[in-house]
Amino acid sequence: MTNTQLKNKLIILTLFLLTGCAGIQTDAYYSRVSPEVIKVKFEGKTFLVRDDLGRSAAFLTESYGVDMAKAFFEGLTLTLVDLTAPVLLFEGAMQNYLDEYKVVDCSIIRSNFISDGLGGGLGYEMFYKCE
């Protein structure tokens, strides 16, 4: 293996690790600022919501059981298949959360996919506005 090939592989590995770290950092941030996890149902699925009230943002993931099964099957396919639920399901769960837990009228203004760095997803970070 030449030095150029080794350098290219190290660059790719570093980018891969940094991408995964960004998702883990998002999860860790919301765990710190919002230790309470609220379970919300939407279309028969359970989603977990951690709300950062100061930023009007929340981190949504699928339930722990679904996450574990999803990780297992994604691993079997070498992450060629992403089994993360569609954004519309996450947004529906978030809107249910906003309707149930906020006193005023709130709506979602932006949704960001949070990658696990391996081809799948941890969930979505959603920003909302209340009037």
CA–CA gap between residue 94 and residue 41 (Å, rounded):
9
User: What pLDDT does 16 receive?
Assistant: 47
- Show me where the domains of the chain are located: 3-130
Which stretches of the chain score pLDDT less than 70?
A: 1, 8-23, 67, 78-79, 119
> What torsion do the CA atoms of 24, 81, 90, 110 make, to the nearest 10 degrees?
70
What pLDDT, on a 0 to 100 scale, did the predictor assign at position 93? 98
pLDDT for residue 14 = 53
Check: CB of residue 110 under 8 Å from CB of residue 127: yes
Which pLDDT value is given to residue 17?
Answer: 46
- The confidence score (pLDDT) of residue 11 equals 61
Q: What is the pTM of this model?
A: 0.77
Q: What is the DSSP letter of 43?
A: T
Give yes or no for a contact between 123 and 89, defined as CB atoms under 8 angstroms apart. no
